[in-house]
Amino acid sequence: MNFYLLANELWGIVNGTETVPGVEASENEVADYNKRKRRACAVLASAIRTDLMYLLPEGNELSDPRAIWTALPTHLDHASTYSITQEKRKLFLNTLTDKMDPSDWMKKSIIVYQKLQQMGVTVEAGDQVKDTLTMLPKLYQPVECVVTAQLDGGSDITMQALTTLLENFWKKNNPNVVASGEETVLLAKPRKGKIPKRRKVRLVMYLFRVLQVVQATCTNREVVNPRSLNAMNMVGLVIFLLNVLHS
């Protein structure tokens, strides 16, 4: 919008740097100024959707482009109603799970509120915290109760303070957490009472190896390479073990 007004020599009238010609001005200069002033009003009004026309100033201010520009800063520039709606939509699409670091989730919400403020939509800090509490999963219900009680008691809680509370609560409930730079890694919990499959295979091979050594010692045979074990060798080892137990 600014570039269009500059290209058509209307920006000076809109931002107030170009004023009404004085008494010494000629009739042509006054007529040209009034013509560009009316055109500036028409350009600004046409930049607003029909359903937002009620936002235009009334009375004499309707013919003043400076008044229109001041009254509608969020609808005449990049911060349109659509972009504001899209930013608010990001808040609801930003979901938090039990395994997610809440500090990263909170950073995204804070960035959205900062963008909304730049667009002219100011959300009070208390309302930001209340809206954030409604999107927390059940895991953070204790934090929600504490913060809600403090807000009801008149305490001021910022988004940064809420981030610290959520992060401390999450780390307390996830002791197997190691922070490496900006990433957070959950350590795998060791399994109890179960032997990994690789260890089972190695244990069996080790037992057969011991039996081979015992068999070779008793029968004066060479020890078979464990990698060359086959069914006949295993059967021979089993028969040898049974004979030892029987004797």
**Domain layout of the chain by residue ranges:** 2-76, 81-186, 197-246
Residue 59: the pLDDT is 63
Pair of tokens at residue 136 = 């927390």
User: 179 pairs with which residues across the strands?
Assistant: 184
Query: Residue 170 phi/psi, 5° resolution?
Result: -65, -45
pLDDT tens across the length of the chain (247 residues): 677 788 888 888 888 888 888 888 888 888 988 888 888 888 887 777 666 676 676 665 567 888 877 776 655 554 456 677 788 888 888 888 888 889 889 999 999 888 888 777 788 888 899 889 888 888 898 888 989 888 888 888 889 999 999 988 988 887 665 554 444 555 445 455 555 666 666 666 667 666 666 666 666 666 555 555 555 555 666 666 666 666 5
Separation CA 90–CA 116 (nearest Å)? 11
Output the CA angle 87-90-95, nearest 5 degrees.
160
Separation CA 177–CA 171 (nearest Å)? 7
Secondary structure letter of residue 186 according to DSSP: E
Separation CA 42–CA 10 (nearest Å)? 11
User: 186 pairs with which residues across the strands?
Assistant: 177
Token look-up 């060479």 returns 222
Reduce the DSSP state of residue 137 to 3 states and report it: coil
Q: How many CB atoms lie within 10 A of CB 120?
A: 13
- pTM of this prediction exceeds 0.75: no
With beta carbons less than 8 A apart as the criterion, state whether 127 and 133 touch: no
Q: How many helices (H) and strands (E) does the chain have?
A: 12, 2
Output the CA angle 91-97-102, nearest 5 degrees.
70
With beta carbons less than 8 A apart as the criterion, state whether 170 and 101 touch: yes
Distances (CA, A) of 44 to 34, 66, 136, 166: 15, 10, 42, 46
Separation CA 186–CA 180 (nearest Å)? 11
Distances (CA, A) of 1 to 43, 186, 197, 234: 9, 50, 69, 87
